[in-house]
Structure 1
Amino acid sequence: MAPPSPPASKPWHAHLTIDLLAYVASYTIFHPFVAWVVPLSLRAQGTPYHFTSFIVSVAYASLVTVFHLLSLVNKRLAYGPPRPVNLNDEVIVITGGAGGLGLLIAEVYGLRGASVAVLDVAAIKEAEARGINYYHCDVGDAAQVEKAADQIKRDLGTPTIIINNAGVVNGKTLLDLSPADVERNFRVNLLSHFYIIRQFLSGMMSSSTGGTIVTVSSVLGKIGAAQLSDYAAAKAGLIAMHTSLIGELRHSPNPGAKNIRTILVTPGQLATPLFGTMASPSNFVGPVVEPVEVANAIMKMVDAGEGGELSFPLYACFMDWMNVLPAAVQRAARAMSQLDTAMRNFRVERDDKPGK
C-alpha cells in the first residue's frame, strides 16, 4: 500500500495577512520603545536638535508614547483595575468545552492545575480529559444547568471564572429555518449565557477575589449576514446582554460586584467545525482565525485579571463603524466582502453538538 501523500503546502504569500502586518507594526514602528530609538540614534550621531529629522523623530515618538499612555488610562477607567488571580484557587466553568475553542482552553487550564468544569452534551475523549471535570449538560436547558451547577459547587467549590463558549450554527435562510431550528439556536447561543451567569454570579460576588465572566459572541452580532439571521440575532443579543451586565455590576449595591471583570469576545470566522467548510472570501483582509490564537488571548486576559474586549481578525475591531457609514457605502462594502454570499456553499462538519 502506498503511503499517504503529504498535504499540499501553501505558497509563502498565503500566510501574509493584514493582521500579520499590523502585529509586526505594533511591535516596531508603533511601539514607544522602538520609536524613541530613532531620535536617540540621531543624537548619538551628533545630529543637532534643530535639524528637521531630529524634530520629526521626537514628535513622532512623543505621539506614539502619548497614544499608548492614553490607551492604558482608557482601559483602566473603562474596566477597572485587575483583580488578583491564582489558578490554584480558581474554579473555571467552560460551556461547549468538549471541542474546538472551549476544549483548547479547558486543556490548558487543566494542565496548569486549575479546577476546570466543562459543560457539554458531547463527551470528552479520555485522552483529552486530563485535569478536566466533565458534566453532561444541555446548557440551553435551565433545569439541567441548575443541576450541573449544584454538582460543580459540591465537587469543586464556587466557580470564579465563567467562559460562555457554547454555540451552534444552522446556516439556513430565514424561510428554511424550522421553529425547532430557531428554538435550538436561541437556547444554546443566547439563553445558555443567562442560565449560566444566574447560577454562578452570586457566588462570584461573595468571593474575596471576585471573578471573571467571558462572553464569546461574534462579529456577526454587529453586522449580520445572509443565512445567519438566527445566529447573528443571538450573538447581537449577547453583546447587548454583556453591556447591560456591566452596567448592573457597576451600579450594584453589592460591594463584591466591583470585583467582577467582564470580557467580550467578538471573533470573525474560526477554523473550527462550527462553520464547516466555509472559506474566507479574502485571506489577506479577512483570514480565518485559528482557535489557538483566540484561546491564548482569552487566557492572557483572564490570567491578568483584566476586563475588556477582544476582536479577531483586525477587521473585526472596526465593525462598530460599519453601521454609521452611508447605506450605499455599507451595501458596497458587503458586496465586496461577499459577506452575504459566503454561506451559499455552507456544509457543516460536526455531529450536531453545541461547541465552538
Structure 2
Amino acid sequence: MIQHTSCSSPTMSAPKLKEVNVSLPRKFDTPDEPWHRYVTVDLLHYVLGYTVFHPFVSCVLVLCLRAQYTAWHALEMRIAIAWALLMCSVGIFNIFSDRLAYGAPREVDLSEEVIVVTGGVEGLGGLLAETYGMRNANVAVLDMKKVDDEEAEEKGVLYYQCDVGDAKQVEAAVAEIVEDLGAPTILINNAGMVRAKSILDSTPEDVEQTFRTNTLSHFNTLRAVLPHMLRERRGTIVTVSSVLGRLGAANLSSYSASKAALLALHQSLRAELSQNPDAKEIKTILVTPGQMGTKMFQNLKTPSNFFGPVVSPAEVAKSIIGLVEKGESGEVALPLYAKYTESLGALPVGIQALLRRWSAMDTAVEKAGMVEKKQN
C-alpha cells in the first residue's frame, strides 16, 4: 500500500502577500458621460492598427478569400494581396528603422535593477513608483514632498526628500541610494511644475524656479546617475517632456520653454551616449504627453474630446513601463496628435495660425482660471 503524504505541515506557512490599499472608483464618483464621449481618434487609430492596418490580419484576409476559391487573378484578390504586401513592408521597415536608430534591446530583470524616479510622490511619477513598488522592484523616489515611513513601507518604495533642482542635494541623495539599494540603472526624470503666468507678470524668481525643477533637475540627476550606469554598462533614462515643448502656449511661457529645453537635452544625450563604448546598453526614452488627467492641469478643458482627448496617467505609465521592460529606446507620445506636433512646423504659417485658433490652446489656460495675475 502506498501512503500519500501531505506537502504542507503545521510549521510551514504560505508566504504573505503584500497588502495594498486600493480605493476603486464607485459609479457615483465618476460623471455619467454619453457613449460618444469615449469615441476618439485615438480609439479609432488603435482599432484600425489591430485590424485593417495589421500585417497579420491583412494576410489572413488573403487566405480567407482563397478559402472561398477566389481566383488569383480576380480584382478583389489582387487588391487584398497588394494591401497585405504593403502592410508587411511597412511593418518590416519599421522594425529595421527602430533597430537602426536605437540598436538591439537590452535584457531587463527588475530584481537586478535600481529605479530612481524624480517627482514620484504624486501624478505620473507616483503611479510609476507605486507600480514598480508593488512588483517588489528596487525603487527610490526623489521629491520635495515628505512621505511617512508607514506609507513608504506599504508601497514598497524608498523616499528621499530632496530638491532635484539643487545639485548638491541630488548628489547626496544618489549616494544614499547607492548605499541602500545599489547603483541606479533606471532613471525616470519626471519632476515638474507649472506657473501659469504671462511673460510680463512672471518674476525672475518664477522663471528660475520653473527651470530649476523642470530642466536643471535633469542635468543634476544625469551627472549623479549616469556614471553608475556607465560603470554597470547598462541602463535606461526616461525624459518626461511635454507636447507644449514643441507648441508653446500663452501664459505658459516658462513651462513650455523649460520643456522645450528637454527635447534638445534628450537629443544631445543620445548623441553623447552613441560616442561612448560603455553606453551601448544604455537606452533612452523621450515622453511627450499631451494634456494628462493630473492635478497640474485638472481644471483645463480640452476643446475637442474627439481629436484631443485628455490622456490618463495610467496610459502614459503603461507605455513607459512597456518600453523600459522590453529594454528598448523609443518615444512615448500620447494622445495621437502628440506624435505629429513636430510636423506642424512644415505647414504654411496661415494653416498653423488657423489650427492654433481652432484648438483654443492659447486661451484655454485663462478660461480655466489658472492664470496668476501680478500683485500690485
TM-score by length of 2: 0.89
The aligned counterpart of 1:351 is none
In the TM superposition, residue 131 of structure 1 has moved relative to its aligned partner by 1.0
Alpha-carbon contact 1:218-1:235 (below 8 Å) kept = yes
Alpha-carbon separation, structure 2, partners of 1:268 and 1:65: 30
- 1:22-41 aligned at under 5 Å gives the runs 22-41=45-64
The aligned counterpart of 2:146 is 123
Amino acid at match of 1:249: L
Alpha-carbon separation, structure 2, partners of 1:183 and 1:282: 33
The structure with the largest alpha-carbon Rg is: 2
Alpha-carbon separation, structure 1, partners of 2:30 and 2:91: 43
Alpha-carbon separation, structure 2, partners of 1:135 and 1:8: 37
Amino acid at match of 2:286: L
Amino acid at match of 2:128: I
Deviations 1:276-300 (A, max 9, x none): 3111111110001100000000001
Alpha-carbon separation, structure 2, partners of 1:22 and 1:105: 25
The aligned counterpart of 2:364 is 342
The aligned counterpart of 2:168 is 143
Q: Is residue 2:69 matched to residue 1:46?
A: yes
Alpha-carbon contact 1:19-1:314 (below 8 Å) kept = yes
The aligned counterpart of 2:280 is 258
Alpha-carbon separation, structure 1, partners of 2:245 and 2:213: 15
In the TM superposition, residue 6 of structure 1 has moved relative to its aligned partner by 5.3
Q: Is residue 2:320 matched to residue 1:298?
A: yes
Alpha-carbon separation, structure 2, partners of 1:8 and 1:91: 39
Deviations 1:244-264 (A, max 9, x none): 110001012xx2211110000
Which of 120, 127, 132 pairs up with 1:104? 127
The aligned counterpart of 1:199 is 224
The aligned counterpart of 2:102 is 79
Q: Is residue 2:188 matched to residue 1:163?
A: yes
Deviations 1:16-74 (A, max 9, x none): 11000100111111111111111111111111110010000000011001001100110
In the TM superposition, residue 7 of structure 1 has moved relative to its aligned partner by 4.3
- 1:181-260 aligned at under 5 Å gives the runs 181-208=206-233, 210-252=234-276, 255-260=277-282
Q: Secondary structure at the match of 1:88?
A: helix
Q: Is residue 2:297 matched to residue 1:275?
A: yes
Alpha-carbon separation, structure 2, partners of 1:180 and 1:166: 18
The aligned counterpart of 2:113 is 90
Alpha-carbon separation, structure 2, partners of 1:7 and 1:102: 23
Determine which structure has greater relative contact order: mean sequence separation of CA pairs < 8 Å that are 6+ residues apart, divided by chain length.
Answer: 1
Identity among equivalent pairs (%): 51
Amino acid at match of 2:312: E
Alpha-carbon separation, structure 1, partners of 2:369 and 2:156: 33
Alpha-carbon separation, structure 1, partners of 2:213 and 2:293: 20
Equivalent residue pairs, number: 342
In the TM superposition, residue 146 of structure 1 has moved relative to its aligned partner by 1.1
Alpha-carbon separation, structure 2, partners of 1:101 and 1:228: 20
Deviations 1:195-232 (A, max 9, x none): 00110101101114x00000000011111111111111
Alpha-carbon separation, structure 2, partners of 1:89 and 1:287: 37
Q: Secondary structure at the match of 2:207?
A: helix
The aligned counterpart of 1:354 is none
CA RMSD, Structure 1 to Structure 2 (Å): 1.3
Q: Which runs of 5+ in 2 are unaligned?
A: 1-26, 371-376
Alpha-carbon contact 1:223-1:323 (below 8 Å) kept = no
TM-score by length of 1: 0.94
Amino acid at match of 1:250: S
Which of 205, 209, 233 pairs up with 1:180? 205
Alpha-carbon separation, structure 1, partners of 2:70 and 2:77: 7
The aligned counterpart of 1:353 is none
The aligned counterpart of 2:13 is none
Q: Which runs of 5+ in 1 are unaligned?
A: 349-356
The aligned counterpart of 1:63 is 86
In the TM superposition, residue 235 of structure 1 has moved relative to its aligned partner by 0.6
